[in-house]
A and B are shown apart, each in its own frame.
Chain A
C-alpha cells in the first residue's frame, strides 16, 4: 500500500512538472518539460551513452562506499566494544571531520591524490565513511546489555560473542547507516566527477552545465536520483531479508 502511494506521488510530481512546463508557468529555457528530459534520456540510452555514464558512476560508488564500509565496520566495533574510552575521546574529532563540507575538500583530494580515479573514489570514501562508522558504533552501543549478560553467563566469549551477539545485534543499525552513506555518496558524485573525468552521471551534469545543454543537465539530475533510489531500495531489500527477527514497525501506529 505504502509503495503504491509513493509511486503515485512521484508520478503526480512528474505530471505537475509537465503541465507547468506546457502552460509556460516554468521557464523551459531553465527547466525543460519532463517530456523533453525523457526524450533526451531515451536518445542517450539508444546511443548507449547513458549506460556508460551510469556504469562509470556506479563503479566509483561501489569502490568508495565498499571501502568505507570495509574500514568502518571493524573500526566501529573496535571503538565501541573494546576501547569505549578511546572512542569517547575520538568522538568529537570524528564529528568535526564528518561535518567538513565535502565540496570544499575536493581541491585537497585533487592535490593529494591527483586527477585520476583515486581522488574520485577517495572523496566518495571520505564522505560515506562517517555514517557507516557512526552506525557501527551506535549499533554496538544499543545492544541490550541483558542479552550480552545471558551469553556471558553461559561462558561465551571472544569470537562467539562477536558473531552470535555483536554482529546480529548491530546489523540493522549498520544497514541504516549504509543507506545514509549511499545517499551521501550520490550527493557528492557530482563534485567527485568534476575533476578530469570522461564519464559519469556527475560528469554529465558538470559538462552540460558548462555547455549550456539544459535538457542533458536534467538527465543527469534525474538519473542520479533514480539510480540512487534503486540502489537504496536494493539495500533495503537486503536488510529486510537479513533482519527477519524484528517486529515490523510499520504496524505500530
Chain B
C-alpha cells in the first residue's frame, strides 16, 4: 500500500516563561515526530494532555508550519490548508452566524458546488449525525454534543480524502458516542478515507484504530505504535468485549502510565 501521509522529523517548539527562573525556556510540543500513514489507514493518537496532539493536527491541516521537518500528502509537500483534508477541531469552531445547514455547507461553497446539490449533501450529513430538524437553528441554540456533531458533519460533507479529528466525540453521551463511532467506521470503510484521530479514551482507540500511536510529553514524541489486528466490528452486542480487545486496552493503559511515571521522575 502506498503511503498517503509522510510526517518527517516534525519539531515544534514554544518559548515559555519558566515558573521558577522567570526566564524563557524552549519547550518542545513536538520533537522529531516521524510517522508514515498508508492510504485508507485509521490511525488513532493517544497521549497525556499537553503532549502535542492538537499541535500535530494543526500542522497536518496546514494551518501552521512546523519549526522543522516536512509533511507530504500523496508525495506532495504540504504548504497550507486545502479541501483534501477535513479538520474537526477540539473546540467545535462552528460559525456562530451560520445556521447548522449553512455551517455544514461551508466547504461545499468553497468547492463551488451548486446550491441545490449543496442542500442535498448537507441534509444527508445532518441526518447522519442525528440532527435532522435542526437545520435552521444557530449554534448558540445547540448543546455541546450537538455542536460537536455539526463540526463532524461539516468536515465530512465536502468529502476530504484525509480526516483529522481532535477528540471529536469527547462531548457526547456514551450512546451517541458508540453510534457515531460505528458511523465513522462505516463511512471510512465505504469511502476509504485516511483518518488521524486523537482521543483520551483508550477503549475508543482500540475500537477504531488500525494502529494506535502512543505519545509521551515534554518533548512530544512517539513512545510506541501499537497495531490493533482485531477483526471488525470489535465490539458488538452479541460478541461483547473479547479478551484480545481487553489485552490491547491494558497494554496501552500501561504504556500511558509508564509514560507519565517516567515524566514525573524526569521532573524530580
Residues of A within 8 A of B (CB): 144, 146-147, 149-156, 160, 164-165, 168-169, 243-247
Contact = CB atoms under 8 A, between A and B. Distances in A.
Contact of B138 (A150, A165, A169, A245): A245
Given A164-B95, A165-B95, A247-B140, A149 B63 contact: yes
Given A153-B63, A155-B110, A147 B95 contact: yes
B224 to A, nearest CB: 29
A156 B93 contact: no
A92 B182 CA distance: 57
B107 interface: yes
Contact of B95 (A150, A152, A243, A247): A150
B125 interface: no
B96 A246 contact: yes
A164 B109 CA distance: 11
A154 B63 contact: no
A160 B91 CA distance: 22
Nearest to A143: B96
- Give the secondary structure class of B's interface: loop
18 contacts: A146-B89, A147-B95, A149-B89, A149-B93, A151-B106, A152-B63, A153-B61, A153-B63, A154-B81, A154-B83, A154-B87, A154-B110, A154-B158, A155-B83, A160-B109, A169-B97, A245-B140, A246-B96
Given A154-B110, A154-B158, A155-B81, A245 B97 contact: yes
A149 B166 CA distance: 14
Interface string B89-105: 10101111110000000
Nearest to A242: B97
B91 A146 contact: yes
Given A245-B138, A246-B140, A154 B107 contact: yes
B82 interface: yes
A155 B85 CA distance: 9
